[in-house]
A = this chain, B = another copy of it.
């Protein structure tokens, strides 16, 4: 049976990425050696690293003055790297989910932290309105999480603020055109729209660095990775190779503009069914706040007892990874770039079929 991969991350990657990586694990770049056992200092891997960074910049239209670094440790490590590198006295955070909250908490050890707004009061089911106007003008930076994977909310435009902007874009990078020039740092785990797990990316405005007095441990200093082309120490070779494949696929498919068209098409299809279907309702009420990447819904009150039955029904039809996070409950379908429209159609058909039975 055809499986439909709705995992929230690590999550579906293009077949192009999977096929090429499987081949490279057996024979990388005609070397006769496996990608798993190739030196990161080999000319063949250096070419992969160089091309991945160049394509990353090209596809996101990253202006000069910015560098892309590939590191390990996940977005969670960035939660401390950002204040290590940027926080002198004061930073502002927008609390739109548990990951945003963790990022904010991490910064409190480095300086004063202003919580600009929070949606914690309603399990983060909305994006606080008018937050841009509330950002103090004397902070070293303002931190946002553009897509909240667990709760299914998303910022669909680059905020207008007068201070350096930092964004965790782990779960919506490469899903729309962003204006990189508005940001000082954009970072994320790559295991959603880009690569297998184990790679973290950061887009860094070079002249935003070097303005703090504190000692920064070598590996946590963005300059270490910029100065060494992300090869200060051994990078996560396989994940970088996977990223390159996805970037090539992205470019061939039409880039972020086409990804944006597709994500809206897929998300609209699923949100429409959730609203139409008598059994279900969305958890994010304001359409303006709804994520195009992670779509969350629960049973309507009068059908609550059918939750497990629908989960089993959908699972039996090949829907993988649609269980909602325990803090939200219900269901979540992640519709990342690599997810074909056919998978959303199959899920919608499954929802209609289940409705017809009840």
**Chain A interface (Cβ < 8 Å from any Cβ of B):** 1, 3, 5, 7-13, 17-18, 21-22, 25-26, 31-40, 42, 71-77, 79-80, 102, 106, 109, 189, 191, 196-200, 215, 217-220, 232-239, 242, 320-321, 338
A31 to B200, CA, bound (A): 26
Q: CB-CB < 8 A to A34: which residues of B?
A: 13, 18, 22
Q: CB distance B238 to A321 under 8 Å? A: no
List of 5 A-B pairs having minimum Cβ-Cβ separation, nearest first: A198-B236, A72-B72, A80-B217, A36-B196, A198-B198
A237 to B32, CA, bound (A): 24
Q: CB distance A39 to B234 under 8 Å? A: no
A9 to B196, CA, bound (A): 21
Residue among B1, B32, B75, B197 making CB contact with A238, cutoff 8 Å: B197
Copies in the complex: 2
Q: CB distance A10 to B189 under 8 Å? A: no
Q: CB distance B31 to A22 under 8 Å? A: no
Q: CB distance A80 to B220 under 8 Å? A: yes
Q: CB-CB < 8 A to A338: which residues of B?
A: 37
A8 to B338, CA, bound (A): 36
Residue among B8, B17, B18, B239 making CB contact with A198, cutoff 8 Å: B239
User: Shortest CB–CB separation between residue A99 and chain B, in angstroms?
Assistant: 9
User: Shortest CB–CB separation between residue A249 and chain B, in angstroms?
Assistant: 13
Q: CB distance A10 to B37 under 8 Å? A: yes
Q: CB distance B31 to A26 under 8 Å? A: no
Q: CB distance A234 to B74 under 8 Å? A: yes
Q: CB distance A197 to B73 under 8 Å? A: no
Residue among B8, B9, B37 making CB contact with A12, cutoff 8 Å: B37
A26 to B96, CA, bound (A): 36
CB closest chain-B residue, reference A22: B25
User: Shortest CB–CB separation between residue A222 and chain B, in angstroms?
Assistant: 14
A194 to B26, CA, bound (A): 17
A71 to B74, CA, bound (A): 9
CB closest chain-B residue, reference A1: B32
A177 to B325, CA, bound (A): 43
User: Shortest CB–CB separation between residue A43 and chain B, in angstroms?
Assistant: 12
CB closest chain-B residue, reference A39: B7
